[in-house]
Chains A and B, each alone.
Chain A
Amino acid sequence: MRIGVLALQGDFAEHVQMLRQLKVEAIEVRLPAHLDGLDGLIMPGGESTTFAKLALRFGLIQPLQQFAASGKAMWGTCAGLIFMAKDVGRDQPTLGVMDITVKRNAFGRQVDSFITPLVIAGLDKGTYDAVFIRAPLIETVGDNVIVLSTLLDGTIVAARENNMLATSFHPELTRDLRLHAFFLTMCQHRQ
């Protein structure tokens, strides 16, 4: 299996390393041509405004939308989640492939970043230690979106819509490979 990681900016190298630990070929994606022959795509943490500028400049927006529409699996973590969302509450270009509204920097500034255990639907073997760094939250979800995890106060932090997965935290900053393995099963069962 070949999985791409969007490498415009952010912690794409951490995702690549996780994928290699799972014995999967990982490809850095910077230009539309790099999407050829991929079975799935991860959009890493980073700055969503930077992703947007570079994706616009190098003609990636439409190819990425087509990638999602073709039913291939796509996963956004933190900034990647923002980049996939239909509505981010401000004038900022996104792919708009996932039917969710997102609030950026929802928990405050860096000093408000935190780590907490989560129960995530579909993951067994106990809780998952999730790293939230200047993280966004999912405010509302469309009819086809399944909520996979929330904080205790009901804040949605992980969701899935068909072939698309979104998490507002950073699995790539942990040593826990379960979510990456889960995503690989999504890549195998192309919708």
Chain B
Amino acid sequence: MKSALHLLEICFILICSILWRIVKLAKICFTIIINKVKSKNIKKIMEHQMNKNNFQPNGTQDANTVVLKRGLAQMLKGGVIMDVVTPEQAKIAEDAGACSVMALERVPADIRKNGGVARMSDPSMIEGIIAITTVPVMAKCRIGHYVEARVLEALGVDYIDESEVLTPADEENHVDKRDFKVPFVCGARNLGEALRRINEGAAMIRSKGEAGTGDVVEAVRHARAILGEIRRVHAMNRAELFTYAKEIGAPYHLLEETAELGRLPVVLFAAGGIATPADAALMMEIGVDGVFVGSGIFKSGDPSKRARAIVEATTHFRDYKIIAEVSKNLGEPMVGINISSLPSDQKMAGRGW
């Protein structure tokens, strides 16, 4: 009896020690695995941080590039992007609270007046504006003008506007924007046009409006068209979406994504004809993410004051007392051209395909 108990005791101790060893072994294995994972992490981090500027254009943008290109536009939301033609104007715009400036040689109102071919701006002027401001700098290239876009990218411009305001360089094709590291913004009059531009690689969309007129009616028309179509496709089933994609000439996968999100997959701004704080607030109320103001500021009587007022009205677009307050005594607005009196061959919005 006694020896049997003794045997049991020895067995118990043996089992305990074996269990203890197993636990110890498991612990060691666990630390080895953890360390492996950690070193893998560090290797991953090393690879990323060493190659962070290693962008390889191959037509299929990697997911990270898309996030970065669309991301900068997201930083501009709720803000005002102003057209400027000199470094002094860029300074005035920044001091007024512009979230970005568009560097160009002539504002659309002057392009209209002077006629002729409108091209990319002088690189030295763009460099002068880049040097003086801390906000992102945009610049325009002609529709389809691949090399102007490359030049702007080389100058360090933060966003390129492939713009119908300049004279188109290609009457069939837009620039293949996926091939660039710098992001692009493009104009659109309806959902189909917007999604075609996004398919080409545009990372931001703006309404075309009718630039250089000071008449907001076309910007309203285009923003309402895009946002209204999005509301309609949001309610469609797949069978209807297939047909609708064909009807509006939109890539199906982007139309489906838009329908699911209930908004464009990129930021949407209003542009073309915005001239007063109330115009800017109207566009925000319609549902855009921010506004471009072109000729409206520096073709008016008191650019600095008007610029500030438009910035404030864009932030407080639903606070009508504030809009009333900031709209007081702004001086002469830009003279403006009534769209209905504009011959159709002088309209810019029809450019782009």
Query: A and B bound?
Result: yes
Chain A residues with a Cβ under 8 A of chain B: 7-14, 30-31, 45-47, 49-50, 53-54, 57, 78-79, 90, 104-105, 108-119, 126-127, 131, 133-134, 151-153, 170, 173
Q: From A90, which residue of chain B is reached at the shortest CB distance?
A: B134
Tell me the bound Cα distance from A153 to B45 in angstroms.
Answer: 12
With a CB–CB cut-off of 8 A, which chain A residues contact B312? 54, 57
Q: How far is the CB of A174 from chain B (nearest CB, A)?
A: 8
Q: How many A-B residue pairs have CB under 8 A?
A: 131
**Is B75's CB under 8 angstroms from A49's CB?**
no
Tally of B interface residues using CB under 8 Å? 46
With a CB–CB cut-off of 8 A, which chain A residues contact B191? none
B38-94, CB < 8 A from A: 41, 44-46, 48-49, 52-53, 55, 64, 67-68, 71-72, 74-79, 94
The residue from B37, B53, B308, B319 contacting A112, defined by CB atoms under 8 A apart: B53
Contact with A along B115-141 (1 / 0, CB 8 A): 000000000000000100011100000
Q: Is B303 an interface residue (CB 8 A)?
A: no
**Is A12's CB under 8 angstroms from B45's CB?**
no
**Is B72's CB under 8 angstroms from A49's CB?**
no
With a CB–CB cut-off of 8 A, which chain A residues contact B234? none
With a CB–CB cut-off of 8 A, which chain B residues contact A11? 74-75, 77
**Is B45's CB under 8 angstroms from A114's CB?**
no
**Is B72's CB under 8 angstroms from A133's CB?**
yes
**Is B68's CB under 8 angstroms from A46's CB?**
no
Q: Chain A contact residues: over half helix, strand or loop, or mixed?
A: loop
Q: How far is the CB of B97 from chain A (nearest CB, A)?
A: 4
Q: Is B295 an interface residue (CB 8 A)?
A: no
**Is B79's CB under 8 angstroms from A117's CB?**
no
* The stretch of B2-10, B151-159, B205-213, B339-347 that contacts the partner chain: B151-159
Q: How far is the CB of B239 from chain A (nearest CB, A)?
A: 30
Q: Is B316 an interface residue (CB 8 A)?
A: yes
Q: How far is the CB of B80 from chain A (nearest CB, A)?
A: 8
**Is A8's CB under 8 angstroms from B315's CB?**
yes
**Is A10's CB under 8 angstroms from B182's CB?**
no
Tell me the bound Cα distance from A134 to B158 in angstroms.
Answer: 9
